[in-house]
């Protein structure tokens, strides 16, 4: 996509809508354009607070993450190292389907545990990208309303890595369509 940037699709699952009141429970990431280059970890909760609806979506009880999750600092160190290992000299760009949600957790965890965020200060939001491409309404950016031609064969399952991969395919197709349109307009 770029000689100077690497787009990394990131998805998280959480116990509620915002950090640090709620915990990031899992994080999945992959390289846009090469989804087999991926990262996945489950985290120990940073507190006991959760919303039942959020846990229903995640599909695993909080006890699972308390028992099986890794310490958040260790996960963020591993994620940072993975980003460095795949970025080489390119700037890593956080791409999220609902970037405001996922970004809030990833940014908070990076700054809390590593005092830095390798993605810098701004993510790119696939929903906004789609809205700009199509001129549609915000309600049309729900994944269930985005036409299949913008989706890859993978489906979103509410597993952070599955969703990161499916969202990477969607991001790639939206960017490709935008480039085709730009070429026609030049």
Q: What is the pLDDT of residues 11-55, one digit of tens each?
A: 999 999 999 999 999 999 999 999 999 999 999 999 999 999 999
What number of other Cβ atoms are within 10 A of residue 167's Cβ? 30
Q: What integer best gives the mean pLDDT of the chain? A: 95
Residue 116 clears pLDDT 70, i.e. is over it: yes
Question: What pTM did the predictor assign?
Answer: 0.94
Active-site residues, by number, are 158
Q: Is 184 exposed, middle or buried (0-12, 13-18, 19+ CB in 10 A)?
A: exposed
**pLDDT digits over 156-179, tens only?**
889 999 999 999 999 999 999 988
The pLDDT confidence band at residue 185, using thresholds 50, 70 and 90, is confident
Q: Determine the average pLDDT of the residues in 123-131.
A: 96
**Residue 31 CB: number of other CB atoms within 10 A?**
22
Q: What local confidence, expressed as pLDDT, does residue 180 receive? A: 86
Confidence at residue 182, expressed as pLDDT on a 0 to 100 scale: 76
Number of Cβ atoms within 10 Å of the Cβ of 146 = 20
Burial of 100 (0-12, 13-18, 19+ CB in 10 A): exposed
Domain ranges of the chain: 5-185
Rounded to an integer, the average pLDDT of 95-106 is 97
Q: Is the pLDDT of residue 1 over 70?
A: no
Q: Which CATH class is domain 5-185?
A: alpha beta
- What is the chain's alpha carbon radius of gyration, rounded to the nearest angstrom? 16
Q: 29 - beta bridge partners?
A: 10, 39
Identify the pLDDT of residue 186: 65
For the chain, what's the residue count? 186
Query: In 10 A of CB 173, how many CB atoms?
Result: 16
């Amino acid at each position: 996509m770029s000689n100077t940037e690497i787009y990394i699709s990131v998805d998280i699952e959480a116990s509620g809508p915002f950090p640090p009141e709620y915990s990031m429970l899992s994080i999945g990431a992959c390289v846009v354009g090469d989804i087999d280059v991926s990262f996945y970890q489950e985290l120990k909760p940073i507190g006991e607070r959760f919303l039942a609806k959020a846990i229903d979506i995640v599909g695993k009880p909080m006890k699972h993450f308390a028992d099986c999750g890794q310490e958040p600092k260790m996960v963020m160190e591993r994620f940072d190292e993975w980003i460095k290992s795949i970025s080489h000299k390119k700037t890593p760009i956080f791409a999220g389907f609902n970037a405001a949600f996922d970004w809030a957790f990833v940014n908070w965890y990076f700054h809390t545990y590593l005092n830095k965020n390798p993605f810098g200060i701004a993510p790119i939001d696939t929903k906004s990208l789609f809205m700009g491409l199509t001129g549609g309404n915000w309600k049309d950016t729900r994944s269930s309303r985005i036409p299949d031609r913008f989706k890859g064969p993978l489906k979103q399952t509410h597993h952070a890595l599955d969703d990161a991969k499916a969202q990477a395919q969607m991001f790639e197709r939206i960017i490709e369509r935008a480039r085709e349109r730009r070429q026609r307009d030049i």
